[in-house]
């Protein structure tokens, strides 16, 4: 597998818009795309996946994002994902949520993509994700900020905390997470930006854009869940599951 765009937010209710975004990815030469339902704690339906995959020549994968700063609400919402084989990410400024997510086997990513949340990253979360073979996420969307003062601030934070993660030998991925269609870039271009402006070595960037997303996808797919539409029965080894 080649480079990944590890986070492409979409509104699945607007399937034409989703198709346009994916066709644009095809034109850019992006071969592996992880789609995220742009709705908090939403699971992408199987019928949507079947519909969107029909006419595309992209390797599509899926992730759901759980975002909340309330610890009790987080634990309640997480139960929705007990039998989900898509990638699960958690985004929260609450350190208790982060730590719980980092050690929960259902969670694949503890995301620090948000320009406010990134400042809450801690060595404890990094350590727990390493123990659990899950990942920290950074995104480049904040450096596309049009306000130059805010852009500079976002860039400094990204530089600071990615280098903290590298120092602590974190498992991490880097995504675009671009909402604006015309901000999308091929991961090779993003690697060049990260190397030139953030000083990240190419071998580390290949892990963040190729190796680690591949591991993450495989880990999610290996979960022992059956993904079926409502009303469909599974017959396995001669036994009908009810």
Write out pLDDT tens, residues 4-26.
999 999 988 899 999 999 999 99
- Give the pLDDT confidence score for residue 1 in this predicted structure: 59
Q: Which domain holds residue 83?
A: 63-240
Report the SS3 class of residue 61.
strand
Kindly report the length of the chain: 242
Q: Does 46 reside within a domain?
A: no
Whether 113 shows a pLDDT value over 50: the answer reads: yes
Measuring CA to CA, which residue among 33, 37, 36 is closest to residue 23?
Answer: 33
- Whether residue 126 lies inside any domain: the answer is yes
Burial of 51 (0-12, 13-18, 19+ CB in 10 A): middle
Bridge partners of 4? 32
Do 37 and 45 touch, CB atoms closer than 8 A? Answer: no
| Domain membership flag for residue 17 | no
Residue 100 has pLDDT above 60, yes or no: yes
Query: For residue 141, is it within any domain?
Result: yes
Given a cut of 90, whether residue 222 has pLDDT beyond it is no
pLDDT over 90, % of the chain: 78
Task: Give Cα 95 to chain centroid, integer Å.
Answer: 19
The number of distinct structural domains making up the chain is 1
Give the pLDDT score at 227.
Answer: 47
Q: Comparing 137 with 40, which gets the higher pLDDT? A: 137
What's the rounded Cα separation, in Å, for the pair 112 and 166?
A: 14
Residue 30 is assigned to a structural domain of this protein? no
Residue 224 confidence (pLDDT): 59
pLDDT of res. 225: 52
The rounded distance, in Å, linking the Cα atoms of 38 and 12 is: 8
Calculate the CA 66 to chain-centre distance: 11
* Position 107 pLDDT exceeds 50: yes
178 C-beta neighbours (distance < 10 Å), count: 20
CATH code, 77: 3.20.20.140
Confirm whether 21 is domain-assigned: no
Does 53 fall in a domain?
no
Q: Is 31 within a domain?
A: no
User: Quick one: how far is CA 218 from the chain centroid?
Assistant: 14
């Amino acid at each position: 597998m080649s480079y990944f765009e590890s986070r492409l937010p979409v509104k699945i209710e607007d399937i034409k818009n989703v198709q346009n975004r994916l066709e644009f990815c095809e034109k850019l030469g992006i071969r592996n795309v992880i789609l995220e339902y742009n709705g908090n704690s939403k699971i992408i339906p199987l019928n949507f996946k079947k519909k969107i995959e029909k006419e595309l020549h992209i390797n599509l994968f899926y992730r759901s994002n759980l975002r909340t700063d309330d610890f009790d609400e987080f634990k309640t919402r997480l139960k929705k994902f007990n039998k989900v084989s898509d990638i699960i990410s958690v985004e929260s400024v609450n350190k208790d949520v982060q730590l719980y997510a980092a050690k929960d086997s259902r969670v694949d990513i503890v995301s620090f993509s948000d320009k406010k949340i990134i400042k809450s990253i801690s060595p404890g979360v990094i350590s727990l994700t390493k123990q659990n073979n899950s990942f920290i996420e950074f995104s480049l969307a904040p450096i596309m900020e049009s306000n130059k003062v805010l852009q500079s601030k976002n860039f400094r934070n990204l530089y600071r905390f990615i280098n903290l993660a590298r120092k602590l030998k974190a498992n991490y991925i880097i995504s675009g997470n671009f909402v604006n269609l015309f901000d999308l870039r091929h991961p090779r271009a993003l690697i060049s930006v990260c190397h030139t402006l953030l000083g990240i070595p190419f071998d580390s960037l290949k892990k963040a854009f190729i190796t680690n997303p591949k591991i993450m996808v495989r880990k999610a797919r290996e979960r022992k869940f059956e993904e079926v539409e409502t009303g469909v029965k599974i017959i396995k080894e001669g036994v009908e599951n009810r």
